Amino acid sequence: MILELKDICKEYVQGKMTVPVLRDVCFSMEEGEYVAIMGPSGSGKTTLMNIIGCLDQATSGTFFLDGEDVSKCDDNRMSDIRLRKIGFVFQNFHLLPRQSALENVELPLTYAGVPKKERRERAVEALSRVGLEDRVDFKPTQLSGGQKQRVAIARALVNRPRILLADEPTGALDTKSGQQVMELFQDLNREGVSVLMITHDRDIASWASRMVEIRDGILKRGGES
Ligand code: ADP
Ligand code: MG
């Protein structure tokens, strides 16, 4: 099991009010699966993704990632898990604007202490994997939306993560570029990468092999792998 969430609750305190955002979420995923979590805006998708991505802690409940109890981890351990086990893809790419595609993709390897030569090689390899071998020296402003997202996917893969997490990966793209990103995810999943994608778009969700719905912070049954 790559992911195992049990009775995950998340609430935010605002003034005197406590706002529940996730309520007793149970969800699990096998290694190599491709799952989409679907729900309308405000249903708690990003909140859930941030917990799964070790960017945020739940208020209560247990969460195992790759066999490790993340609910018991401190901040240092959480950043280490993020760096080594998780690849992130966001709606708005989150690329550094002044750095080339190559430098953006190299960044996680720099954090991981990989020597320069190997860094270069692996970043070029990841960019080739997403079909951008002829764009390594381009800056984000010189790339289309679809190309920017492919750079972000190369960056997400370069540390060979255990799971790829994507929050609305096609949300900022036109239909054709969105389709290309979905084809890429499908290929990666067929090569063995576990993929968890969040979307409010049913057509996009249907690319996954399993779909789970969330509404008002409640994940519908079917979340168990
Ligand atoms: P989605 O990604 O499905 O659109 P979110 O997870 O971003 O939804 O948000 C779910 C709910 O949690 C929303 O009602 C939002 O206002 C609330 N929320 C998210 N982050 C915070 C925060 N930091 N403080 C207070 N409320 C928040
Ligand atoms: Mg969101």
Ion ligand 2 nearby residues (CB, 5 A): 45-46
How far apart CA 150 and CA 145 sit, in angstroms, is 9
Q: What is the pLDDT of residues 50-102, one digit of tens each?
A: 999 999 999 999 999 999 999 899 999 999 999 999 999 999 999 999 999 99
What is the model's pLDDT at position 33?
Answer: 97
Q: How far apart are CA 133 and CA 140, in angstroms?
A: 15
Helix (H, G, I), strand (E, B) or coil at 104: helix
Q: Which residues line ligand 1 (CB under 6 A)?
A: 12, 14, 19, 21, 39, 41-47
Mean pLDDT, range 123-140, rounded to an integer: 97
Could you tell me the distance, in angstroms and rounded to a whole number, from the CA of residue 48 to the centre of ligand 1? 10
> Whole-angstrom Cα distance, residue 27 to residue 89?
20
Q: What is the pLDDT of residue 110?
A: 94
Which residue owns the Cα nearest ligand 1 atom 7?
Answer: 46
Q: For residue 195, is pLDDT > 80?
A: yes
Q: What average pLDDT does the segment 198-202 reach?
A: 93
- What does the pLDDT look like over 4-51, one tens digit per residue? 999 999 999 999 999 999 999 999 999 999 999 999 999 999 999 999
Angle (CA) 12-6-167 rounded to 5° is 60
pLDDT, residue 75, reads: 93
| Confidence bin at 225 (pLDDT 50/70/90) | low
pLDDT tens-digit profile of 168-181? Answer: 999 999 999 999 99
Integer Cα distance of 182 and 169 in angstroms: 9
pLDDT score, position 188: 93
In this prediction, residue 222 carries a pLDDT of 64
Residue 167 CA, closest ligand 1 atom number: 2
List residues bridging with 88 in a β-sheet: 165
Q: What pLDDT score was predicted for residue 167?
A: 96
Residue type, position 218, single letter: I
Residue 166: the pLDDT is: 98
Q: Which of 11, 47, 59 to mutate to test the pocket of ligand 1 (most atoms within 8 A of CB)?
A: 47
Pairing state between β 218-219 and 210-215: antiparallel
